[in-house]
Structure 1
Amino acid sequence: MLLLAPMEGLLDCVLRDVLTRIGGVDRCVSEFIRVTGHLLPDRVFLRIVPELAHGCRTAAGVPVRPQLLGSDAACMADNAARLAALGAEGVDLNFGCPAKVVNRHGGGAALLREPETMAAIVAAVRRAVPARLPVSAKMRLGWDDAVLALDCALAVQEAGADELVVHARTKADGYRPPAYWEQVAPLRERLAIAVVANGEVWNVQDAQRCRAASGCAALMLGRGIVAHPGLALALRAHDAGLPGGEPLPWERLVPHLQHFWEQVCVQLEPGQHAGRLKQWLNLLRRHYPQAQQAFDTVRLLTRQQDVSDWVRRTAGDVSELGLVA
């Protein structure tokens, strides 16, 4: 099982669309929907998870599970019930966000200091949605250490969750390497529900090490698959004993970059357009020298039309050379 991670400001509906078109992903989790004390209007759910209007699937047919973030169990339950009514594939709960603005209000990773509150939230959401819908959760190893990691994991399980993703770092670790995959292993050994490992999987070799250290066959991919869009396909090839593992050739990626840019211009606010393309190109530089060249060009462009012209020229050059597979 290969899951696409929720990442606020990065892995949104546009990038979910692109990465699931490339292939290899079994399921996506949306970026968090913040619950702050009331039932959200449908437009908020549909803005963050537009796939709700299409069977809760991306254009490639991959399920998307909306994620809720909050600390009020009753309010989380109300919003989960509304998601179910809108056709959600399931409901995921965020116990891992390290953002200060979220933690100050008792949400995300702040709840890792309160296993009993985590249990209350999971139990309330489980009661609020139909039994056929899975309830999952994503947590970190802890706030500033992993002392309560097992308590938190057991609380999630005993309250009725069907699956737990563990980001193998604490809140204090942020996103700094390494990820402590070996600290996921004791949780997986104690839990009867599915446990998914997450953190610092950038390539096939990382995935192999993560699986060996954590004992988890299932992985959640975040920045690694954004930087290496063919990573899920490469992992599937490796698992099947087939050759592969290298990043998609640049010429195969360019049409996806063009589609990404077109969708960004349609679905996001104008002020976000160029920044989102630069953000992706910045991560792609890990594997593609062409992305470095593209980044250097795009960062000097200030008008949307200029970026659109550059994208079309780049796609056209690849097509004219007969390089698109």
Structure 2
Amino acid sequence: MKNFMALFMARNREFYRDKGSLSWSILFPLILIFGLSFALSNDRYVYKVGVLGDQAEAGKLLKEVPYLDLVAYQDETLALNRLTRHQLDLLIQTGTTPRYWINTQSKKAWFLEKTLQAVTPGQFARATVKGEEVGYVAWVIPGILSMSLMFSCLYGVGYVIVRYRDNGVLKRYRATPVTALEFLSAQAASRLLISVSTIALVFAGSHLLLDFPVKGSYLLLLLTTMLGALSMIALSLVCAARIDSLEFMNGLLNFISWPMMMLSGLWFSLDETPRLVQQISLAMPLTHVVNAARAIMLDGAGLTDIAPQLLTLTALTVILMAIATRSFRWQKE
């Protein structure tokens, strides 16, 4: 019993002294609880209505219509896209001549329009769009595939490099003519091949079984996957550039990956989140991968349509690789 208690207390002290693991074991459930409660807090509403213009004025116009969740939009094209996918039940525009759009293929929109016409007769001009409903499974699949790519890239290269440094492998490499850029580039290329090949197999298998829609180019989807993988590999290399603790590296990668999962629009749309949250999400590579893949698969987007996302991923890759190469060290301090 004495030996057991000694080992028990030693392991507890080891855990408590590892500030990274201890902090993450406390923060992770809190982030998950608050994130999910925030995402799922609108279940009291029945209809989701997009608003172009003054949201307060829209609230006054629709005050007699119950159970509406009003979502403000600045971009009319984006709002109409949401309506076409059935992610909005109605879109209204305030101003001197208020008007609304409905999707003629939406059952919920039919009932909402009847209610709107009964409560506010003659107040709105009418316009229509058409589009089949995109189910949640089809909508979330690009995000799940992107998430798998993220975990493969973050843990498949950075964690390995920290282990190399911890075991003294990098110290031996330093005695060779290999430069930091050559070493990191080789690691990145290897992980790129493995990650893209793996996700391609997962994509092919799930597409065969679930028959989810892919309206755009497979080659463009492959390009998006490769640029997304490179940006997240580069992010992982920055994290691994100087760290020599496997436990701390694991906590850091969790700290990076979980906020990206919650704020990238992977599980739910960010349209209703505060503007600040949407701006923060744009700094995350996963957001651009998810948006580009979703646009290709669901909307048939072309190269020019997703050029901003691809350019952002390219810029992130170059910047992060430069930082990783500049700050890389071969051995422990």
Structure (1 or 2) with the greater helix fraction: 2
Q: Kindly name which structure, 1 or 2, has the bigger radius of gyration based on alpha carbons.
A: 2
Q: TM-score, normalised by structure 2?
A: 0.20
Q: TM-score, normalised by structure 1?
A: 0.21
Structure (1 or 2) with the greater strand fraction: 1
